[in-house]
Structure 1
Amino acid sequence: MFRNIAELVAQAEESDKKIYEIMIDQEIEESEKSKEEILEIMRKDFQVMKEGVRKG
């Protein structure tokens, strides 16, 4: 876990992971959902955002 961006970057460097991987791992732990479930939620959220931009 991290408390600020510096800690997040340090954790990424120490674990040789990208920041997005750490964030997905954290979401898996907090939500108890699978990586696939989280990515599907993210895809749906992104589609909603794109539609909102399209509609203006």
Structure 2
Amino acid sequence: MIRLIVIFLIIALIAAIFGFGGIAEGAADIAQIIFYIFLVLLVIALISRLFRR
């Protein structure tokens, strides 16, 4: 998931440099959503690991 976040951020940066604001905004939004999903899954995994022990 981290790889996807980095890919979308790079796409957003390149699009912003070349002046494609809409594409850059969309890629940044997707990266942000994936990042939040990653954080939620990380917290769930950590909590479940605590309860297993």
Give the structure-2-normalised TM-score: 0.46
Q: Which of the pair has the greater relative contact order for Cα pairs under 8 Å at 6+ separation? A: 2
Larger-gyration structure (1/2): 2
